[in-house]
Amino acid sequence: MLKVRENVNLAEYTSFGVGGPAKYFVEVESVEDLKEAVKFAKEKNLEFFILGGGTNVLVSDAGFSGLAVKMKLEKIEKLDENNFKVGAGTLLSRLVNFSAENFLKGLEWAAGIPGTIGGAVAGNAGTPEGEMKDSIKKIEFFDMEKFDVFNLDGAKCDFGYRTSYFKDKNNLIIMDVEISLEKGDEEEIKNKIEKNISARKEKQPQGRSAGSYFANPKVENESLISQFEKETGISCIDNRLPAGWLIERVDFKGRKIGGAEVSEKHANFILNIGGAKAQDFVILSSLIKQKVRDELGVQLKEEIRYIGF
């Protein structure tokens, strides 16, 4: 029997540490649990959202008036030497460690990235070194409207920069992901993982945040691209400029609204420096978008999801 709790504080389940309560809250560990949760939501005509690691969501101060579903599918099942099935609620860090322990290469780029597999796949998490799409063979998902489980080959998932077939489709819920990796050298794999974790700690601020707040935008302004390349010595790939660099150019490092602050270390991180409200993040991010648009002609788009607004 599925246990439905009421008025559960969602701030405890998010990396921002802000937000009000969910009217209803459940934890699901199987397809059967999820079906019960969906039935419950439909019977009460409730909105429904999936909560993974809580690293890419901002919950309203008023909370969420529907059903919040915490994914607890945390298995890693080995299918053969190079292939395994991973539950959507499994932490990405656990999967990276598992691959290293089994001398499998291809996920070293993900070392140090927070969140769960479900969210990482839906948003095609990645770095210049790799993306989730590179390793995915198949995705098992639940269709709320058809009330059944289906499979989709990785090649048909419409993966793109921070997006996929599943992004923003609330009726499709990722359950399991089949991952395929290649055998590699143990020392080389571990060295890459350690190097990536060290680089993240050096470049990114510690504290309560959702990681990158904005996606890196595509820019058509050749002059701006040239300025970036000249200033950083880094080549612009696919005309995408780092959102942090753009925010820094409009002098928003260290800006604060209430308890929300743009990091001095990395301008695409907005931190809860203590006592922040969700509204502080909303106002500060709106000011950033307006400033970047007005001064640089670039429209920023959030990587995070807004819940209950």
Catalytic residue numbers read 162, 212, 303
Give all strands (DSSP E) within 72-129, no chain letters: 76-78, 83-87, 104-105, 126-127
CA-wise closest residue to 11 among 95, 71, 72, 68: 68
Own/partner contacts of 33-41, CB < 8 Å, gap of 24 or more, are 33/2, 34/69, 34/142, 34/173, 34/175, 35/142, 35/147, 36/2, 37/2, 37/67, 37/69, 38/142, 38/144, 38/147, 40/2, 40/4, 40/67, 41/66, 41/67
Parallel, antiparallel, or unpaired: how do β-strands 64-71 and 21-28 relate? parallel
| Residue in this structure with the two tokens 């945040």, named with its chain if needed | 209
Backbone angles phi, psi at 206, to 5 degrees: -90, 150
Contact 91, 72 (CB under 8 A): no
